[in-house]
């Protein structure tokens, strides 16, 4: 089955929103989303430093590994799953947190997209 990666580039709305961003996005949203059918893994990283002198568009990047026949199917399944308040037991907690924070997502999304896996290579640290 084809594999896709949904990548998101995100930022808290402001320095004052950092705690809300951490609670909602890092502590809940990544795990919540990985309970969606076809999702294999979710990960989030915080920028530690730039590479060379290249501008970095976001301090946070999220990766969701998904198995699906197409990215359109993966997107459809994700949208249907996110519309279901009872998709998994922890889903309601995630939605309640968003409501407590004012009903809006406490972040700016600087970019997002689906990428199809074309190749994968292990480095020497992975037994390869």
Tens of pLDDT along 42-57? 999 999 998 998 988 8
| Within-domain flag for 57 | yes
Q: List the CATH number of the domain containing 40.
A: 3.30.70.100
At 106 the pLDDT is 85
For residue range 66-114, what is the model confidence (pLDDT) as tens digits?
A: 999 999 999 999 999 999 988 888 888 888 888 888 888 889 999 999 9
Task: Please count the structural domains in the chain.
Answer: 1
Handedness of CA 87, 89, 92, 95 (dihedral sign): negative
Task: In whole angstroms, give the CA distance from residue 9 to residue 44.
Answer: 10
pLDDT band at residue 127 under the 50/70/90 scheme? low
> Is the entire prediction scored with pTM above 0.85?
yes
DSSP code of 53? T
In the chain, what is the straight-line distance between the N-terminal and C-terminal CA atoms, in Å?
23
Domain span at residue 90 reads: 3-117
Contact 57, 111 (CB under 8 A): yes
| Within-domain flag for 127 | no
């Amino acid at each position: 089955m084809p594999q896709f990666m949904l990548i998101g580039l995100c930022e808290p709305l402001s320095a004052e929103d950092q705690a809300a961003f951490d609670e909602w996005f890092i502590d809940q949203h990544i795990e919540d989303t990985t309970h969606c059918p076809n999702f294999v893994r979710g990960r989030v990283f915080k920028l530690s430093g730039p590479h060379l002198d290249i501008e970095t568009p976001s301090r946070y990047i999220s990766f969701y590994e998904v198995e699906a026949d197409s990215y359109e199917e993966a997107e459809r399944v994700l949208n249907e799953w996110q519309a279901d308040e009872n998709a998994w037991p922890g889903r309601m907690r995630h939605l309640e947190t968003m409501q407590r924070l004012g009903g809006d997502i406490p972040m700016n999304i600087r970019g997002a997209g689906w990428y199809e896996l074309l190749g994968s290579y292990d480095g020497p640290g992975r037994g390869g």
